[in-house]
Structure 1
Amino acid sequence: MTIATFENDALAVTAGSFSLALTVKQIERTWDALSHFPDRRARIELHDLAVRLNGFAGHVAAIVAKGGALDQPAELERFASRHVSLTLRAWAMDSRCMSWFVVGPARFPVDRNRKRMEWAENAFRVVGDHAKAARAAVERIAFPHGAPGGPIRASNPDAPALIRAEIEKHKAVHAQMKAANAVIRATKGQEPEARVQALVDATGWRETTARTCIYPAQSWMGQGFAAYQLSGQLAEIKRLEIRLANIERNRERGTVERTHNTTAGALRVVENGEAARIQLFFDGKPAASTRDLLKREGFRWAPSEGAWQRHLNNGGRHAVSRVVSALQVEEVLS
């Protein structure tokens, strides 16, 4: 899917009600003081903008194809409008910069130009960050509980069942690994074909898989599975079991709330078991120093919740304690 075309030195963008038409001639003067060939730079910039816009459109189309719930035209329009605006701003910042190779070294404003170059670099960094953030944002909208085949989020209503399935899968793999090692030890000295068939019968693997397990491509790899591979499976099973227990415990507790009187005003702390988040609610926007404190403790602003939040676990609870302590708690209100 494309929303931008760059042909014959002209860029055309159409995304919902947003449209844009730019030519190399219109913007090439932006780089007069930076390049001996500003038209080439303009051509590169328009091409790159088209690539970013179409890349996002393809990303959205792929999400929809996977079954994601998205208002595709609205998302494309929102992204194109904002991304083009940020790109034009970056170009404007670039137009204030100079290269002494182009303008000459005489009375060249070194310090002032250095500052302007830094500002331009930051502006282009914002453009790149926006493209990455927008992709992540549409994924969260389309799959609020995680994309199919992706990591299992604690907020997913089906998380316990999915984690149990993962545990059973790892247990089955571990059992196959142990069975394979047992067969390899028991058939030592037998004919290769007999050993391979015995391993196929014990594990249900394909013949090629069984043969590779007994006779690896590199002799240093050894036959079967090493102890660290077996222990790695056990460690993953243990990790999943602990995570499952934590999710079930949080859901059984339900939502737990308490309010503290602090120097930042009333602070409501909510342990949201269903969302798997520990949330901090303030009356209004906290001061800059408070926001810095929250960020240092791993909290991030969630506009959809109107709260500062992080994952609900013991680390999050300890972080809340540090925030409350730093804000000089006077008393618990409720």
Structure 2
Amino acid sequence: MTTLATIADDTLTVSAGAFAVVITAKSIENNFDAVTHFPERRARLSLADLCNSLNYFGGRLDKLAAEGGAVDVATEAARFAERHIALHRRAWAMEARCMSWFIVGPANFPTARNQKRQGSRDKAYDAIRAHSEAALKTIERTAWPHGAPGDAIRANHPDAISLIRAKIEQHRAVHAQMKTANAVLRETKGQELGARITAMAGATGFKRETCERIVNPPQSWMGQGFGSHALSGQLAEIKRLEGRLATLEANAARGTVETQHNTTVGALTVRENPDAARVQLIFPGKPDEATRSLLKSHGFRWAPSEGAWQRHLNNAGRYAVSRVLSALQTDNEAA
């Protein structure tokens, strides 16, 4: 396991890739002097929390690497540790500006000013939590840019079409097995339980334990075999996947398509990018706040890696483009 931090003798030692630092409880103790009677205890707890956060992140990196994810453990560990520690130092500095009247006394206590400082401190700790959550999501996306194994098949996966075809065939096979199982139940009605289970296993390829549950359900209310809802559910999933497949194949056949439009915010390029499975809007510069709000209201999000505002490439995405163009249209629209 990748251990990014250890604590010994009230000292936190961090070694994360190319980043290393040592923090003693004594060095941060003064940040808590005005908020607690036991600043040394608060300092030790703060270092322990930081240590746990760093090592949890290291554990996540290990897990992704072990699963085959494309992640540079040392680089990601160093990036996270450096930023996370900086955020903790900032929060501790904010803490040093706060005070408790239990500690400093109630006379002339600056209540309003202290509340404002506490608000800033709370935001600093919120930033720490937000960084942890964002960093975990980032390494997941880095490790599995097209989705982790077992996740839904993303449209921008380079093998999306073949994977969806395989998924359709898998559901068709399951549906056929379910129908075969129901047929065996009808054909073997009245026979001895063991014979029915054996017949079920031979006809469907299910494991014997599965066949036993189908023929002799553990609960009477479950009923034998597969109900119409289960069969129709498989058919509905097949139909949904076939729809996705048709859309992806059509987009791939069209290839990348670009059109230019004159708008109130300048020349706008609309690109249908099947490789990224996105419809993209490319502006000559950063759109103003009103235009950005318009884009967001129609489901577009800024993608720095693409230099474009984009959403999924499908009929809904194309319709959203038409709505944005309509809102930004000029009298001289270029084809």
Does the pair score TM above 0.5? yes
1:251 has 2:265 as partner: no
Match of 2:121 in 1: 120
1:203 Cα offset (Å): 1.1
Correspondence list, 1:105-184, <5 A = 108-184=109-185
Match of 1:307 in 2: 308
Match of 1:188 in 2: 189
Match of 1:12 in 2: 13
Conserved? CA contact 1:255–1:270, under 8 Å: yes
Residue 94 of structure 1 aligns to which amino acid in structure 2? E
For these two proteins, the number of residue pairs brought into alignment is 334
1:242 Cα offset (Å): 0.5
Supply the RMSD in Å over aligned alpha carbons. 2.2
User: How far apart are the structure 2 equivalents of 1:248 and 1:3?
Assistant: 46
Match of 1:228 in 2: 229
Change (3 A) 1:19 1:289: farther
SS in 1 for 2:84: helix
User: How far apart are the structure 2 equivalents of 1:114 and 1:317?
Assistant: 49
Change (3 A) 1:181 1:81: same
Change (3 A) 1:20 1:329: farther
Correspondence list, 1:209-224, <5 A = 209-224=210-225
Residue 6 of structure 1 aligns to which amino acid in structure 2? I
Match of 1:39 in 2: 40
Structure-2-length-normalised TM-score: 0.90
Percent of aligned pairs with the same amino acid:
58
User: How far apart are the structure 2 equivalents of 1:14 and 1:165?
Assistant: 45
1:293 Cα offset (Å): 2.7
CA offsets per residue over residues 90-138 of structure 1, 9 Å max, x none? 3333333344555555555444444433333332222222222222223
1:283 Cα offset (Å): 1.6
Structure-1-length-normalised TM-score: 0.90
SS in 2 for 1:70: coil
Change (3 A) 1:26 1:187: same
Conserved? CA contact 1:140–1:146, under 8 Å: yes
1:43 Cα offset (Å): 2.3
Change (3 A) 1:35 1:291: farther
Correspondence list, 1:63-82, <5 A = 63-82=64-83
Residue 239 of structure 1 aligns to which amino acid in structure 2? R
Correspondence list, 1:237-276, <5 A = 237-276=238-277
1:297 has 2:286 as partner: no
Change (3 A) 1:4 1:242: same
1:317 Cα offset (Å): 1.7
User: How far apart are the structure 1 equivalents of 2:271 and 2:186?
Assistant: 56
User: How far apart are the structure 1 equivalents of 2:227 and 2:115?
Assistant: 57
1:303 Cα offset (Å): 1.5
CA offsets per residue over residues 235-260 of structure 1, 9 Å max, x none? 11111111111111111111111222
Match of 2:54 in 1: 53
Gaps of 5+ in 1: none
User: How far apart are the structure 2 equivalents of 1:266 and 1:302?
Assistant: 19
